Amino acid sequence: MTVPRFLDQALFADLAAQAAATPRQRQHHNLHAMSEPCHRMVVGLQPGSYIPPHRHLADDKAETLLALQGCFGLLIFTEAGELLDKRLLQAGGGCAGVDLPPGVFHALAVLAPDSVLFECKAGPYRPITEAELAPWAPREGAPEVASYLAWMQAQFKQSVDNSQPS
């Protein structure tokens, strides 16, 4: 038997610090063994992290995302790359998470420092394939990422401003 693992402020602070120290501005903490059928992880993210628009094509790859700390902007796109919907995912806010079915193009913009996300989807782990990446969005590391990420974050500027205490 394994011991319980708590999703507490010590874990969140550790992940946020690790994320800030990495070039990709994010750090995963797996709660599962790779052989388990349900993959659960806690992810620390900083606002400079680029999570490009992508989708999961396998029928068993529905994905649940929950904001545990901080704030994220969820963007949903059509096949052609048009912005279909957007939601502010905020710990303790009006919408804390989303359950995404397979095949939906989505991206996240990290909107607050030291944000922490819970992610759950079926295993085994499979890296995102080229077919799952949005053909209309820049690839991680491309020169266009900075302007695209700024556009993603700007979609939530008013929402974030309105959610801050006065």
What stretches of 2-146 adopt beta strand conformation (E)? 26-30, 38-45, 50-54, 63-69, 71-77, 83-90, 97-100, 105-110, 115-122
pLDDT score of 44: 98
- For domain 9-126, give the CATH number: 2.60.120.10
For 29-87, what is each residue's pLDDT tens digit?
999 998 899 999 999 999 999 999 999 999 999 999 999 999 999 999 999 999 999 99
1: pLDDT strictly greater than 50:
no
Phi, psi angle pair for 157, to nearest 5°:
-55, -50
For 103-148, what is each residue's pLDDT tens digit?
999 999 999 999 999 999 999 888 899 999 999 999 999 999 999 9
Q: Where are the domains of the chain?
A: 9-126
d(CA 19, CA 156): 22
Q: Give Cβ neighbours of residue 155 (< 8 Å, ≥ 6 apart).
A: 73, 75, 83, 86, 109
88: pLDDT strictly greater than 90:
yes
Residue 162, CA distances (Å) to 84, 95, 111 in order: 22, 14, 13
pTM of the full structure: 0.92
Residues in the chain: 166
pLDDT score of 98: 98
